């Protein structure tokens, strides 16, 4: 009977340890990993915005205009017009 009680205690201790690990993961590890992923996604989004604006500016400097597709339309961004005859 003593062996059965020891086995029961060992099983209960194992269950408690597993529950503690699950709670620790839920409260500490998972939020940290999620926060890291969100920070990486935000950084990539901001880098994409910067790249887009830089590409538009380069195209405007090289060609004087930039065409941006917006749905079925095309948005034309044109640089400053140089006045003719003014010095």
Q: Distance from CA of residue 38 to its chain's centroid?
A: 5
Q: Which residues pair with 75 in a beta bridge?
A: 68
Alpha-helical segments (H) within 1-87? 2-24, 30-63
pLDDT tens digits, one per residue of 15-65: 999 999 999 998 888 888 899 999 999 999 999 999 999 999 888 888 888
* pLDDT over 60 at 86, yes or no: no
In a domain, 9, yes or no: yes
In a domain, 45, yes or no: yes
CB 84 within 8 A of CB 70: no
In a domain, 83, yes or no: no
How many structural domains is the chain composed of? 1
3-class secondary structure, 82: coil
Show the tokens assigned to 44. Answer: 């990539």
Radius of gyration of the chain (CA): 31
CB 31 within 8 A of CB 42: no
pTM for the structure as a whole: 0.57
In a domain, 50, yes or no: yes
Domain that holds residue 26: 2-78
In a domain, 11, yes or no: yes
């Amino acid at each position: 009977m003593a062996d059965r009680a020891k086995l029961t205690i060992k099983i209960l201790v194992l269950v408690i340890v597993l529950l503690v690990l699950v709670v620790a993961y839920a409260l500490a590890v998972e939020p940290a990993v999620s926060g890291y992923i969100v920070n990486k996604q935000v950084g990539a989004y901001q880098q994409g915005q910067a790249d887009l604006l830089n590409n538009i500016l380069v195209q405007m400097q090289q060609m004087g205009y930039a065409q941006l597709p917006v749905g079925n339309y095309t948005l034309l961004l044109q640089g400053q017009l140089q006045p003719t005859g003014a010095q």
